[in-house]
Structure 1
Amino acid sequence: MSCDLYAPAIRRYIQWMASAGYCGDGHRFPLDEKSGQYLDALFGVLRKLEPVNEDGYYELWLQAKRGTPEDFGDFEKFRAAGEVESFAEFEQLWKTEFPDEIEWYHFAAAENPENGFRVVSLDHRLILEVAPGQGDGGTEDVSEFLCWLLQAVEEALRKMERGEYLAWLEENLPAKHRTGTIRRKDMWKVFPEEKGQFLNGLSSADVQAFLDEAAEAPTEQEKLLPELTANAYYRFCSLGYQALNYPVAALSPKEQYFRYADGRDGGLRDIDPDSAEAFSWWYWTGPREGHPWEVCRGGFGPSLHLNVQKRENGYYLVVAIYSPYWTVEAVRFYLALHRAGLPVWIQDADVLKDRLTGEERVGIVPAGVDPFYCDNYFPGQKIMEFMNLPSEKAEAFAALCHWQSITVSDLKEKP
């Protein structure tokens, strides 16, 4: 049976099958008989392959044609809905949504042979989660889609049997679907305006001071604070707030902290602010109940921390951020405390130095992958920022990237 689906129909299936009400919340549904047969055939073919990891996942790259405007949709319905006024606008909309004549899809699937549980993802989205005996309430017919998927996988296997598949991917897979890295200074070559935006007015003198002086942790010989109080900590924060030009003139250091910090102080506000003993007691009991070191809150996103660390010979401070977007603020905060003679260090100092000089590598993840928490794409590398290939100046940008080799399944028994 031939099941030629075009990219618009495949997108509709992906969007429907990956929607939260479908399987995004763990909902599983029974397939009708024909769909089940295609799924069985699909996994029968996949068993000819070697999984790419210890979890047993098969991975491939598949293709589909864009098709014609008629495959995109019904022009009259689009016009009636007010989305277009002419067929020319309809064609333009089709090409905007599907600019390439060939669409590529990352495919991954796995099964547990002991209980029959199966998962399938397409375009980096979970679309199918099936287990024997699941669900009540009828069956779903996705046979057309699974037939296409089976054919696409079989075509990939035929290329493998001819020894062509991997070389074909390396030559033809568009850069936007690749994984790699780019130096920040090379990004700035393509988008020079971004360097100024990134450094956000940080002077060359401050950059050099940070490069010369910043370190991640003290040595055993360095002098630390023999004791610490809550009021002293608030004063340290105030130095940082002033360096960031926060409005602080009418506020005490403590008031500044409770205006700009996270607010979940773990009981810091309740201890005697001038007692070193009270701070020491709180330090070992209170911080676990809140976010007292989050001194510049970031809402649901990243933030800036001024952590307190303790060694036998005293306390010291560590500035920490978890997003490149706070780099300049972290540098200014650190330098303000450092120039005040305080024992302060900064987390990931070498990474931040590379960031300021443009030597840091940014991770490029495939289209369809949200560029957050993508460390697993870069094993053995310390990558702290991720992005998809930009659509603007993509070719010039891609030429400066260092691309990883494509990883896909291979035949268990090569011809």
Structure 2
Amino acid sequence: ACAVCYRAARLEGLEGKTAKEQYGRYADDRDGGLTTIDDNSVAAFEKWFDLNDSEKWKIQNPSHMWEICQGSSYTRIHLYVNKDDAGYYLGLAGGVHCRTEEIVRMYNALREAGFPVRIFSHQLIAKAIRGMDYVGIVPCTDTPSQYWYGGFPLKEVISFINLTDEDFSEKMIEQITEQAEWLEISTLTLIDG
């Protein structure tokens, strides 16, 4: 499943590598021992999957177990394995603030390959790729990524720009500022006393 994702996302350095080697190249190696089990044994996977976190710690650090593309808090991509009464299914997470195209490509490729998969934050991602989301314009003193962690008044806004950082002409900036819906900026004051 990870190899399907890597190919779909058009990651570099996949040629001639096995699926496990691709995983080793892009995933976080703190996988709780996932890479130590027999690749071709369903029983070995099920035994490992059923271990609790403390048992996985005895094998290897499980703190980033499902991180198939490592990165910062908002650039990493996770492919979780979940189990319910119907069996196993995958959960794909990431791509909300950046790497959105990669997540969509991964999801579509997994579906096409026949994997049962769910995508987290699918409504936000769908709005973003269809151009129906809001874009927050942040002050010139800030970087857009600062707002991924909160601080923007509207929680449904997931994409941010700084007009001075973009490749906009003065005319484009003028058009954007005229058409934007501007929110009130909080005024900070000192307390008397």
**Which interval holds the TM-score relative to the shorter structure?**
0.7 to 0.9
CA–CA separation in structure 2 for the residues paired with 1:309 and 1:295: 15
Partner of 1:262: 28
Distance, in Å, in 2 between the alignment partners of 1:301 and 1:405 is: 27
Q: Please, what TM-score do these two structures have when normalized by structure 1? A: 0.38
- CA distance in structure 2 between the aligned counterparts of 1:398 and 1:297, rounded to whole angstroms: 36
Q: Is the 8 A contact 1:389 1:398 kept in 2?
A: no
Counterpart selection for 2:152 from 367, 371, 377: 377
Structure 1 residue 321 and structure 2 residue 86: aligned? Answer: no
Q: In structure 2, what is the equivalent of residue 242 of structure 1?
A: 7
CA distance in 1, matches of 2:70, 2:3: 14
Ranges in structure 2 where 5+ consecutive residues have no aligned partner: none
Alignment match, 2:174:
395
**Is the Cα–Cα contact under 8 Å of residues 96 and 125 in structure 2 kept in the other structure?**
no
When you count helix as a share of all residues, which structure comes out higher? Answer: 1
Report the AA paired with residue 314 of structure 1. G
In the alignment, structure 1 residue 275 sits paired with structure 2 residue 50? no
Which of 175, 185, 190 is the equivalent residue of 1:406? Answer: 185
What secondary structure does 1:325 align onto? coil
> Which has the greater radius of gyration?
1
Gapped regions of structure 1 (runs ≥ 5):
1-235, 411-415
1:250–1:348 Cα change, 3 Å: same
Post-superposition Cα deviations, 1:211-265, rounded to whole Å, max 9, x if no partner, equal: xxxxxxxxxxxxxxxxxxxxxxxxx111122223344342221122112222222
Percent sequence identity is 35
Could you tell me which residue of structure 2 aligns to residue 105 of structure 1? none
Contact 2:30 2:64 in 1 (8 A): yes
Residue 70 of structure 2 is aligned to residue 289 of structure 1: no
| CA shift in 2, pair 1:409/1:250, >3 Å | closer
Distance 1:258 1:406 in 2: 46
- 1:308 deviates by 1.6
Over 3 Å counting, the alpha-carbon distance change for 1:361 and 1:269 in structure 2 is same
What is the CA distance between 1:301 and its match in structure 2? 6.4
Say if 2:126 is the partner of 1:353: yes
Whole-Å Cα distance in 2 between the matches of residues 278 and 373 of structure 1?
42
TM-score where L is the length of structure 2: 0.75
CA RMSD of aligned residues (A): 2.8
| Larger RCO: 1 or 2 (CA < 8 Å, sep 6+) | 1
**Inter-CA distance 343–300: structure 2 relative to 1 (3 Å threshold):** closer
